[in-house]
Amino acid sequence: MKHSLLILIGMLFFSSSTLAAEQAAPKHIDEVRHRTQQVVPFSVEQTRQTFSKTVHGGVQHVVAKSADDTKQIKLIQTHLQKIASEFRKGDFSATERMHGADMPGLARLKRAQIDDIRYEYKPLADGGQIHFSSEYPQLVQALHEWFDAQATEHGNDSIPGHTQHHSTPAD
């Protein structure tokens, strides 16, 4: 009887803490969205963003919802080019301002040597992308953790044609 009571109490505790975490998640996501809009020059509402993991890291795409929105496209391209340059220097301060210093994978990315991870910016007709890659499994794992956290906190929009071409083992 005592054992059953302890199990029941444990289950109640776990379910109530899970419920609290689920209720906190939308608030946290709203906070990240607000902080993101303070950090990025483009409109979060007028763009789509994806984080696609690859064998060697991943690809972040940011595109304008409207292909005619040249203002947003230019702002996206300028921002992605800037943060790719910052990442190459080990500067993840923009990410920290949006997500906090305890974001999964971030500490390992910051400790990486300058040439251990490649950050390749590429402009696209409707926005831009950064291709993140490393030959070191522990850094690929950190990138994957970081991408999962990005996708959870920003959402992971569907952008036709932007995920399938990064899923090959050569990426």
- The mean of the pLDDT values for the chain is 78
120 has a pLDDT exceeding 60: yes
Structure confidence at residue 21 as a pLDDT band (50, 70, 90): very low
- Least confident among 10-14, 64-68, 90-94, 107-111: 10-14
Structure confidence at residue 40 as a pLDDT band (50, 70, 90): confident
**pTM for this prediction:** 0.74
Whether 21 is in a domain gets the answer: no
Output 42 or 139, whichever has higher pLDDT: 139
Residue type, 15: S
Q: By the 8 A CB rule, do 134 and 118 touch?
A: yes
Whether 67 is in a domain gets the answer: yes
Whether 18 is in a domain gets the answer: no
34 has a pLDDT exceeding 50: yes
Whether 119 is in a domain gets the answer: yes
Domain containing 77 equals 40-166
pLDDT score for 53: 95
Q: By the 8 A CB rule, do 50 and 154 touch?
A: no
3-state secondary structure the chain: CHHHHHHHHHHHHHHHHHHHHHHHHHHHHHHHHHHHHHHCCCCHHHEEEEEEEECCEEEEEEEECCCCCHHHHHHHHHHHHHHHHHHHCCCCHHHHHHHCCCCCCHHHHHHCCCCCCEEEEEEECCEEEEEEECCCHHHHHHHHHHHHHHHHHHCCCCCCCCCHHHCCCCC
153 has a pLDDT exceeding 80: no
8 has a pLDDT exceeding 50: no
Whether 45 is in a domain gets the answer: yes
Q: By the 8 A CB rule, do 60 and 94 touch?
A: no
Whether 1 is in a domain gets the answer: no
Percent of the chain exceeding pLDDT 70 equals 66
pLDDT score for 95: 84
pLDDT score for 134: 98
> Residue 15 corresponds to which tokens in the numbers above?
């379910």
pLDDT score for 168: 46
Whether 5 is in a domain gets the answer: no
Output 80 or 156, whichever has higher pLDDT: 80
Domain count, the chain: 1
Whether 106 is in a domain gets the answer: yes
